[in-house]
Structure 1
Amino acid sequence: MTTLKARLHDDLTLAIKAHDKLRSATLRLTLTAIQKEEVAGTAARELSDVEVEKIIAREAKKRREAAEAFDKGGRTDSAERERAEGEVLADYLPKPLTDAELTELVAAAVAEAKEAGAEGPRAMGAVMKIVNPKVAGRADGGRVAAAVKKLLA
């Protein structure tokens, strides 16, 4: 079992013992999503920590989007629950990049792409290819793309 998945299991056990319903429900749903991913496809397999992290990030994103939808629908109690679940999942994700850190990484990727001959707005794909592995899981793709467009313009 991967270390992140083992941590989720251990924390679930602690949450159940502490009667923390929010945390235990959130961790159960996340572990279920991980288990579904492990058995999807032709053969069952063990996920790496990186893959588990991606699933947790996907689950956190679902919570953010659901909270926004509940807010628009006027269901603030449900929105608050979704936000609380998102905060539980945030404990298992790497610390997000600040705007300054993201700009610095993108600037380095733009410079690297220019050295390889990529110029102007058409270099977007080349820059994204360079910067995405560096920011994996620490910044939203839309935020990265906006930073790249800003520096290429």
Structure 2
Amino acid sequence: MDMRDRVNAALKQAMKDKAVDRLSTLRLINAAIKDRDIAVRGDSDSAGVGDAEVLAILGKMSKQRMESVRAYEEGGRVDLAERERAEIAVIEEFLPRQLSPAEIEEAVSDAIATTGATSIRDMGKVMGELKGKYTGQMDFGTVGPMIKTRLS
């Protein structure tokens, strides 16, 4: 079952269960996927976004909510922070397991070896290799500096 089908099945189940908060989050996910479908449709004749793109959308949504939690906590709005955490929990149900720091180190080493990267100019190749294999499983914002350190 692809990601889109999993989200739709969860949406239908949330409707049956009358889980209002969960349903709201699943509708947000569905809307984000459809928005991306529309954006892609204008660029090419494709039928929509694939699982990798859906994972990227979900990762971005999760990251945005983490930032919101931090902002709400700094502002003393614990109630809103809890709501964001609940949305994060629903979103993360569809994301693959995040790699541990040791697994990320190993993946970076493997990607550098596979691409034959020797200098900072090869960073794009390494990132492309990692994104191809580990989309949704690691934060590429933290992996970038790690690669830079290894290649300099």
Same fold (TM over 0.5): yes
Query: Which letter does structure 2 place at the counterpart of 1:33?
Result: A
Could you tell me whether the CA contact under 8 Å between 1:39 and 1:45 is conserved in 2? no
The yes-or-no answer on 1:140 pairing with 2:142 is: no
Q: 1:56 corresponds to which residue?
A: 58
Cα distance between partner residues in 2 of 1:131 and 1:3? 21
The count of residues paired between Structure 1 and Structure 2 equals 149
- Which of 90, 93, 96 is matched with 1:94 structurally? 96
The question of whether the paired residues in 2 share the 8 Å contact of 1:63 and 1:86 is answered with yes
CA gap 1:36/1:89 in 2 versus in 1, 3 angstroms:
same
Aligned residue type for 1:106: V
2:111–2:126 contact (8 Å) kept in structure 1: yes
Q: Which residue of 2 aligns with 1:131?
A: 130
Cα 1:90–1:46 change in 2 (3 A) is same
Indicate the residue corresponding to 1:76 in structure 2.
78
Query: What's 1:27 paired with?
Result: 26
Q: Within 2, Cα distance between the matches of 1:51 and 1:124?
A: 22
Contact kept? 1:94, 1:138, Cα under 8 Å: yes
Q: Output the CA distance in 2 between the equivalents of 1:86 and 1:77.
A: 14
Q: State the SS of the aligned residue for 1:101.
A: helix
Q: Give the superposition deviation at 1:90.
A: 0.4
Sequence identity (%)? 36
Which ranges of structure 1 fall in alignment gaps of 5 or more residues? Answer: none
Q: Which moved more, 1:121-130 or 1:64-73?
A: 121-130
TM-score (norm 1): 0.83
Residues 30-45 of structure 1 aligned to structure 2 (within 5 Å): 30-40=29-39, 41-42=41-42, 45=47
**Residues 4 and 51 of structure 2 are in contact (CA less than 8 Å); yes or no, is this contact kept in structure 1?**
yes
CA RMSD of aligned residues (A): 2.3
* TM-score when normalising by structure 2: 0.83
Distance 1:110 1:49, change over 3 A: closer
Distance in 2 (alpha carbons) for counterparts of 1:49 and 1:128? 19
CA 67–10 in structure 1, closer or farther in 2 if over 3 Å, else same: same
Deviation at 1:111, TM superposition (A): 3.3
Q: Which residue of 2 aligns with 1:14?
A: 13
Which stretch of the first structure deviates more once superposed, 125-134 or 15-24? 125-134
How big is the shift at 1:62?
1.6
Structure 1 stretches of at least 4 aligned residues deviating more than 6 Å after TM superposition: none
